Structure 1
Amino acid sequence: MNAIWGQIAKRQRPSLRTIFDTDPGRLAYLTLSQGPLRFDWSKTHLTKEVIADFLALTDEAGFAAARDALFAGDPVNNTEGRAAEHSAERGEGNVESVARARMLHRRMRALIDAIEGEALGPVRHILHIGIGGSALGPKLIIDALSDDGARYEVAVVSNVDGTALEQAIARFDPHATLIAVASKTFTTTETMLNAASAINWMVEAGVEDPYGRVIALTAAPERAMEWGVDETRVLPFGETVGGRYSLWSSIGFPAALALGWDAFESLLEGAAAMDRHFRLARPSENAPLLAAFVDQYYVRAMGAQTRAVFAYDERLKLLPSYLQQLEMESNGKQVKRDGSPVDGPTAPVTWGGVGTDAQHAVFQLLHQGTVLVPVEFIASIEPGNLLDPAHHRALLVNCFAQGAALMRGKDNDVDPARAYPGDRPSTTILLDDVTPEALGALIAFYEHRTFANAVLMGINPFDQFGVELGKDIARSIDAEGTGAFDPSTRALIDLALPGG
């Protein structure tokens, strides 16, 4: 690590209670409101001195130039020679890329209008088939923003395990189902196998033109047409939109159809507002950058290997899973942008759950375990239900109490098993409500936080070569048999796959 990291690591670390006692004004510089979101980092060990160190590190890492390059559409994904233009899908970025994204959005809306007019026949069910970012993003959005009045029943299938597809189609009428196949290359093995099986399901049910009920969401429209999808039902997106950053593009089609175009536009605008904040705010008042300071402090200076995210709102129950891919696939790297080894830990393991369920499962470790786990609480001021307000009050009371308890702790000299060490850090993010605008802003915040962490570490967050080796070996099992593998793998293949 360089000199600044050394300085950060050597600074004394008073307890959180001591920091609050000696720095009563910390709420002023460690809380920030941005649109429908409020961030509170005051229960972390960041101090004015530590923030000053990180601001110096930000300058040294060339953060401003890297951020400008991101929004300019420069090839920030240096290993693949590509830009990363998910922000252009929201209207913020290279002028030409923004114009192209708007054109493709208009194409998507026109198809949605046609579907709503029953140009493809009656549609009551949407079967969305994808994997990774092609599934996690739409699934999160639809789950968080749907209500009992949703216009379509949606199932998102990603697992190649046939049970997942079988369970999804069991409740669908094949004659009233629309299939959305989401694959950037339109060659993803799991996705294309699931898509072929879905087509067979329609054929067996006597659907007259099953391919006529398929919408292709892809950056390779020619392959989709070769597979059998008519050009009028292909919704392209750009090569510069990566999978885990793609829900703003045509990958978001099932959400735009199920939730309505107005909701999808509000989602985009909420994200665009966070784009503008990230691009224009001063570093000391920049929400994604400050959050990255917290991440870097605990991982690199304090040795934390995991980060826990708990959504105290049932509508956001899929957020921890979404963040797992976003953060670990982006920043789980071993080399820097120039190919040299990283000089410290990179992304921690992201995990989490839903409050209050998690309190009765994993919070024992958080309060009294021996590992350091920075915690992030996410909650909404407005409830997502019409039941007695006591439900939402109890939810928020528990959320706020957990953060206070992690920090405060409790001594017990008589019975050590009932003692709580405290001094355990947490961040709280409050939404005004789980609306399309707020959710768009929240997801964009996490995207930019991931990018800011990458810049501070000097790595490229936009490639994901780590997922390729296992895929290559899986393909070779069918192509080469068992001879090329270690004895353990050969034995497993022989036992479970007769014939090799």
Structure 2
Amino acid sequence: MSEAVWNKLKGLPKPTLAELFDADGGRLDLLATRFELGDETCPGAIRFDWSKTHLDAAHIAAFEELAEATDFAGRRAALFAGEIVNPTEGRAAEHTAQRGVGSEESVALAFENHARMAAIVEAIHRGAMGEVKHLIHVGIGGSALGPALAIDALARDGAMVEVHVVSNIDGCALEAAFAKCDPATTMLAVASKTFTTIETMTNAESVLSWMREHGVQDPYGRVVALTAAPEKAIEWGVDETRILPFSESVGGRYSLWSSIGFPVAMALGWPDFAEFLDGAAAMDIHFRDTNGLANLPLRAAFADQYYTRLRGCQTRAVFAYDERLALLPDYLQQLEMESNGKSVKVDGSPVDGPTAPITWGGVGTDAQHAVFQLLHQGTNLVPVDFIAAIAPGDDLNPAHHRILLSNCFAQGAALMAGKASEDPARAYSGDRPSATILLDEVSPATFGALIAFHEHRTFANAVLMEINPFDQFGVELGKEIAKQIEKGGTAFDPSTEALLQLAGIA
């Protein structure tokens, strides 16, 4: 049935953005929505403006038909009920339960784990482990990208504990963290779902060695483990009282809301971390209870599918016009490309079209003097997301923020309108799509809602493509070969063998 809908979509006319605005005076009301997070306990709002995309009434109706054909409602219900939605691994995906929205049993377990984490965070802040000025957090993938983004976005005004997130096995990354820390006042957080990830465990061992070399008598006494395998952490040497577990059904790139968020709570304090969870829960409830075009993540997925499937766009660009969100494009790269970079459907049959585009981006206004040349005049059609905040994050002359936002909004207008010229080198074709996400302010609540929006957008895209967004077997092959190299005795292609010889590894 979905194939018939796709055939219908491919046959629809594709009017320009200018034609769409000219033909429909209510377009802005239809495709630009202010999302209110909640009451005074979860304040804030975000404007989601998809009016500068090529979605029109005919495409919207067909995409809503596609959502019905792919059982979007059923798969969404299964997600929130804690049913198996990752069939290749036989798992649920219960990151929303960490925010209080999910099956009753899973929400209760998440509440218990959060209470345990809150108690440890607050005890450390009170001085129960002595003076703690620094936390080195070692993890990789979702265990590092999410905490790094959240801390950079929310803790710039002064962190309660300075957190240094280290993911790379390259020793230069760890040495850079050491240079900023005093071993006597530093704690270590080890974030690994299995507590066997080689990059993370190697980095953790090196942090312990650094502590010993600088006179810390009991380095294991300064370790907190964040894991779904508590028994492995105990075997490694962490005291049971400093192990923060999370459920096996919480995937790595969706784990920021679990004990993987410990460094965020250490930096912000528990009340702000709780507000972060509440903001995400507000988006969860909207996504769970709203249907069709009014569902904001699903609306975004309609546009995403339009550009990948109907217009052949191989990339999607994300530009944060806010220095606090500089790491957001990196975070979304993993979320979207690891989730939806697949070639088979849930039933194992080949995907009959492109799946996830390549997600990339940067920070405005820097990017305007780098990659925007291609966006405005290049031959590639690239849908762009602009993300900004009305309230500035600085106390400088208001001109700074006014110029920043003026540039953000001007870029979207210019991409759409273009500009004719008799000189071809100075001509802009226009009709280039963009969406704008405008936060009232970058707060724990709005930031939580923003991340949850992108999680659900990723899931909605997967449903429309009939793929499983929760496994990531493509990550494993390179790891397996790296382990073979470490063990030695395995023959590879001539190029790889030559590289190993030159590096002195073979």
Looking at structure 1, the residues matched to 6 and 176 of structure 2 have their Cα atoms a distance apart, in angstroms, of 51
Residue 183 of structure 2 is aligned to residue 183 of structure 1: no
Once the two structures are superposed, the pairs formed by residues 430-449 of structure 1 within 5 Å of their partners are 430-449=438-457
Aligned residue for 2:194, secondary structure, equals coil
What CA deviation, in whole Å up to 9, does each residue of 1:44-82 have, x standing for no partner?
Answer: 100011100000000000000000000000010111001
Match of 2:360 in 1: 351
Shift of the alpha carbon at 1:206?
1.0
Match of 1:265 in 2: 274
Where does structure 2 lack aligned partners over 5 or more consecutive residues? 37-44
Shift of the alpha carbon at 1:260?
0.6
Residue 499 of structure 2 is aligned to residue 492 of structure 1: yes
Q: Is the CA contact 1:5–1:301 (under 8 Å) kept in the aligned structure 2? A: no
Shift of the alpha carbon at 1:18?
1.3
Residue 30 of structure 2 is aligned to residue 22 of structure 1: no
Shift of the alpha carbon at 1:281?
1.1
Shift of the alpha carbon at 1:229?
0.2
Identity %: 68
Q: Is the CA contact 1:174–1:202 (under 8 Å) kept in the aligned structure 2? A: yes
- Which residue of 329, 342, 351 maps to 1:320? 329
> Aligned pair count?
497
Residue 407 of structure 2 is aligned to residue 398 of structure 1: yes
Residue 123 of structure 2 is aligned to residue 124 of structure 1: no
Residue 284 of structure 2 is aligned to residue 280 of structure 1: no
What's the RMSD between the two structures over aligned residues? 0.8
| Letter paired with 2:195 | F
Q: Is the CA contact 1:128–1:156 (under 8 Å) kept in the aligned structure 2? A: yes
- Which residue of 85, 97, 102 maps to 1:93? 102
Looking at structure 2, the residues matched to 242 and 154 of structure 1 have their Cα atoms a distance apart, in angstroms, of 23
Looking at structure 2, the residues matched to 98 and 141 of structure 1 have their Cα atoms a distance apart, in angstroms, of 23
Match of 1:80 in 2: 89
Q: Is the CA contact 1:326–1:447 (under 8 Å) kept in the aligned structure 2? A: yes
Q: Which segment drifts farther, 226-235 or 150-159?
A: 150-159
Shift of the alpha carbon at 1:282?
2.3
Q: Which segment drifts farther, 25-34 or 449-458?
A: 25-34
| Letter paired with 1:496 | A
Looking at structure 2, the residues matched to 424 and 164 of structure 1 have their Cα atoms a distance apart, in angstroms, of 39
Where does structure 1 lack aligned partners over 5 or more consecutive residues? none
Q: Is the CA contact 2:117–2:244 (under 8 Å) kept in the aligned structure 1? A: yes
Residue 427 of structure 2 is aligned to residue 426 of structure 1: no
Shift of the alpha carbon at 1:2?
1.2
Residue 145 of structure 2 is aligned to residue 136 of structure 1: yes
Residue 476 of structure 2 is aligned to residue 476 of structure 1: no
What CA deviation, in whole Å up to 9, does each residue of 1:311-332 have, x standing for no partner?
Answer: 0001100100000000000000
| Letter paired with 1:23 | D
Match of 2:39 in 1: none
Looking at structure 1, the residues matched to 12 and 123 of structure 2 have their Cα atoms a distance apart, in angstroms, of 62
Shift of the alpha carbon at 1:34?
1.2
Aligned residue for 2:54, secondary structure, equals coil
Shift of the alpha carbon at 1:458?
0.4
TM-score, normalised by the number of residues in structure 2: 0.97
Shift of the alpha carbon at 1:299?
0.2
What CA deviation, in whole Å up to 9, does each residue of 1:79-136 have, x standing for no partner?
Answer: 1001000000000000000000000000001111221222222100010000000000
Match of 1:58 in 2: 67
| Letter paired with 2:429 | P
- Which residue of 199, 220, 223 maps to 2:232? 223
Q: Is the CA contact 2:317–2:361 (under 8 Å) kept in the aligned structure 1? A: yes
Shift of the alpha carbon at 1:284?
2.0
Match of 2:41 in 1: none
Looking at structure 2, the residues matched to 281 and 290 of structure 1 have their Cα atoms a distance apart, in angstroms, of 11
Shift of the alpha carbon at 1:147?
2.5
Q: Is the CA contact 2:70–2:466 (under 8 Å) kept in the aligned structure 1? A: yes
What CA deviation, in whole Å up to 9, does each residue of 1:270-326 have, x standing for no partner?
Answer: 000000000001212000000000000000010000000000001100100000000
Match of 2:6 in 1: 5
Q: Is the CA contact 1:134–1:244 (under 8 Å) kept in the aligned structure 2? A: yes
Match of 1:460 in 2: 468
TM-score, normalised by the number of residues in structure 1: 0.98
Looking at structure 2, the residues matched to 167 and 284 of structure 1 have their Cα atoms a distance apart, in angstroms, of 47
| Letter paired with 1:493 | L
What CA deviation, in whole Å up to 9, does each residue of 1:387-440 have, x standing for no partner?
Answer: 111111101100000000000001112x11000000000000000100000000
Aligned residue for 1:310, secondary structure, equals strand
Q: Is the CA contact 1:288–1:446 (under 8 Å) kept in the aligned structure 2? A: yes
Shift of the alpha carbon at 1:149?
2.4
Aligned residue for 2:164, secondary structure, equals strand
What CA deviation, in whole Å up to 9, does each residue of 1:8-40 have, x standing for no partner?
Answer: 112111111111111121111111121211111
Q: Is the CA contact 1:16–1:423 (under 8 Å) kept in the aligned structure 2? A: yes
Q: Which segment drifts farther, 16-25 or 153-162?
A: 16-25
Once the two structures are superposed, the pairs formed by residues 361-376 of structure 1 within 5 Å of their partners are 361-376=370-385
Looking at structure 2, the residues matched to 18 and 422 of structure 1 have their Cα atoms a distance apart, in angstroms, of 12
What CA deviation, in whole Å up to 9, does each residue of 1:365-393 have, x standing for no partner?
Answer: 00000001000000101100111111111
Looking at structure 2, the residues matched to 272 and 163 of structure 1 have their Cα atoms a distance apart, in angstroms, of 38
Residue 124 of structure 2 is aligned to residue 115 of structure 1: yes
Q: Is the CA contact 1:31–1:38 (under 8 Å) kept in the aligned structure 2? A: yes
